[in-house]
């Protein structure tokens, strides 16, 4: 078998390039300036630069999304960077979100979007695919710029700047690589930028769930829901097994529309409910969906089924945030007329529809709990 000469040739070229640039950097004082730059700054300043660099590299990524939204005619509602939230609340305001520091990341939330036709749906998908890719592109541009700037400064005698830029370059390079790698991940209902971009074309449940979320996050858009309703019903009828956060989210949206908005239920989907409730909920998503099914049977007038499901529920076996659990137990008591929980539910501090709801707290969304239609 004939061996390829390409690896040998590439190795020779890499060796020649390394030798050339290494000699050049020694001749130009690259290493001397590098060492002086590191020693010119106290280690505490380097730690401060790590924090600043983290903020800037995440800011650059999210700014890519932010600018792309604006270019495509969608006004951003908020942008989070580490623990700082920039929110458009009758003018842009800055709010601190300590818990977001744990994620070492950011997010851009667009203003309310309305979709009431196939043309608007396709146009919105194309826009969001561009927006998703804008983040990684901005990360690459920013990362390369910092690296080139650091290299350029190493040939100067500005040692303090050299030292600061070195720390910034290391943090920026690591975070840029992590941002690109995480953009390819799709796990537990969480999608990176590249993965989400691809899922728009390959995963119909993701596409539908994502678009519905856009039209219902800030406000319940009736026209958009009128357009999506047939798609929701058709998709759920074709989904044989409800599992995973996306399909459970879609079924939850269906139940919400039937129970609280008065839409006509589909007999075919009711079989999916019977299959789902055979198992006791173990996590937050399945617990919330389980309760929505209880509300559905209450709406359908099947009180015996409601009591059966309540008696079967064992909250001690559910992996769920205590605040979320308390909110839904109180809400269930109120909706089923077991106990009047109006005072509790009217207090914004008690509203925890999910363990990630704190992300939206800075937006100060108005949450009105609805009653089950009869």
241 and 353: one domain? no
Per mean pLDDT, which of 14-18, 160-164, 349-353 is the most reliable? 349-353
Instruction: Tell me the range of 24-28, 30-34, 65-69, 171-175 where mean pLDDT is highest.
Output: 65-69
Which helix (H) or strand (E) covers residue 85, if one does? Answer: strand 84-88
Which domain does 141 fall in, by range? 12-195
Tokens 């939850």, residue located = 252
Q: What is the mean pLDDT of residues 287-310?
A: 93
Q: Which of 162, 195, 228 is the last residue of a domain?
A: 195
SS3 content of the chain, % helix, strand, coil (to 5): 65, 5, 25
- 269 vs 250: CA distance, rounded Å: 12
Domain boundary among 143, 173, 195: 195
**Residue 39: per-residue pLDDT:** 66
| pLDDT for 1 | 44
Q: What is the mean pLDDT of residues 335-345?
A: 91
Domain limit, last residue, from 195, 218, 245: 195
Query: Do residues 167 and 220 both lie within one domain?
Result: no
**Which residues contact residue 367 at a Cβ distance below 8 angstroms, ignoring those fewer than 6 apart?**
348, 351, 353
Q: Looking at the DSSP assignment, which residues form a beta bridge with residue 87?
A: 78, 93
Both 284 and 327 in a single domain? Answer: yes
Q: By C-alpha distance, which of 303, 246, 257, 295 is closest to 273?
A: 295
- Residues 114 and 224 sit within 8 Å (Cβ to Cβ): yes
The residue among 337, 241, 355, 346 whose CA lies nearest residue 298 is 337
Residues 66-107: pLDDT tens digits? 999 999 999 999 999 988 889 988 888 888 888 787 777 888
pTM score, whole prediction:
0.81
pLDDT band at residue 208 using 50, 70 and 90 as cut-offs: very high
Read off the pLDDT of residues 223-261 as tens digits, 9 standing for 90 and up: 999 999 999 999 998 877 777 788 889 999 999 999 998
Instruction: Evaluate whether residue 270 is within a structural domain.
Output: no
DSSP-derived letter for residue 361 is: G
Of the listed ranges 7-16, 66-75, 82-91, 273-282, the one predicted with least confidence:
7-16
What confidence score (pLDDT) does residue 133 get? 93
């Amino acid at each position: 078998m004939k061996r390829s000469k390409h690896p040998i040739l590439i190795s020779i070229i890499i060796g020649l390039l390394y030798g050339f640039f290494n000699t050049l950097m020694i001749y130009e004082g690259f290493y001397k300036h590098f060492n002086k730059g590191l020693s010119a700054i106290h280690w505490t300043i380097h730690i401060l630069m790590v924090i600043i660099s983290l903020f800037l590299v995440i800011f650059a990524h999210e700014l890519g999304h932010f600018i792309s939204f604006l270019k495509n005619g969608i006004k951003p509602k908020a942008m989070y960077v580490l623990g700082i939230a920039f929110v458009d609340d009758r003018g842009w305001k800055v709010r601190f979100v300590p818990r977001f520091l744990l994620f070492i990341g950011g997010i851009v939330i667009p203003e309310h979007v309305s979709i009431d036709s196939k043309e608007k749906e396709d146009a919105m998908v194309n826009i969001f695919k561009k927006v998703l890719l804008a983040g990684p592109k901005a990360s690459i541009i920013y990362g390369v710029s910092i690296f080139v700037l650091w290299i350029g400064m190493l040939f100067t005698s500005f040692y303090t700047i050299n030292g600061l830029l070195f720390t910034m370059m290391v943090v920026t390079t690591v975070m840029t690589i992590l941002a690109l790698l995480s953009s390819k991940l799709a796990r537990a209902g969480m999608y990176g930028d590249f993965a989400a971009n691809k899922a728009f074309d390959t995963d119909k449940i993701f596409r539908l769930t994502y678009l519905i979320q856009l039209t219902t996050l800030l406000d319940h858009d009736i026209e958009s829901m009128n357009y999506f309703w047939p798609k929701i019903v058709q998709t759920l009828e074709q989904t044989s097994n409800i599992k995973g956060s996306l399909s459970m989210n879609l079924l939850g949206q269906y139940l919400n529309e039937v129970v609280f908005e008065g839409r006509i239920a589909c007999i075919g989907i009711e079989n999916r409910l019977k299959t789902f409730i055979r198992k006791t909920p173990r996590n937050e998503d399945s617990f919330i969906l389980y309760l929505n099914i209880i509300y559905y049977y209450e709406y359908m007038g099947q009180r015996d089924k409601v009591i059966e499901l309540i008696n079967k529920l064992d909250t001690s076996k559910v992996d769920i945030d205590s605040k979320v659990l308390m909110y839904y137990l109180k809400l269930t008591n109120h909706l089923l007329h077991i106990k009047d929980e109006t005072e509790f539910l009217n207090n914004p501090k008690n509203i925890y529809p999910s363990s990630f709801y704190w992300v939206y707290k800075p937006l100060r969304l108005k949450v009105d709990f609805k009653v089950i239609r009869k």
